[in-house]
Amino acid sequence: MHDIEPYYRWREYYIAAEDSDSPFFGRQYSEVSFTHRLYNFYLHPQWDAFGSSTLYGKILFADYEEGYALIELIGEWNDALHNDIMYLKRNIADHLYDKGISKYVFFCENVLNYHSALEDDYYAEWYEEVTDEMGWIVLINTRQHFQEEMEDAHLDRYLLFGEHFNDLHWQIQPKPQFVFAMVEALVYNRVKRIS
Query: How high is the pLDDT of residue 1?
Result: 54
* 8 part of a folded domain: no
**Whole-prediction pTM:** 0.94
* 82 part of a folded domain: yes
Beta bridge partners of 71: 59, 106
Q: Is 54 exposed, middle or buried (0-12, 13-18, 19+ CB in 10 A)?
A: buried
* 115 part of a folded domain: yes
* 9 part of a folded domain: no
**Overall number of domains in the chain:** 1
Query: How high is the pLDDT of residue 42?
Result: 81
- In this predicted model, what pLDDT tens digit does every residue of 109-128 receive, in sequence order? 999 999 999 899 999 999 99
* 10 part of a folded domain: no
Query: How high is the pLDDT of residue 190?
Result: 66
Q: Is the pLDDT of residue 37 over 80?
A: no
List the CATH number of the domain containing 178.
3.30.750.24
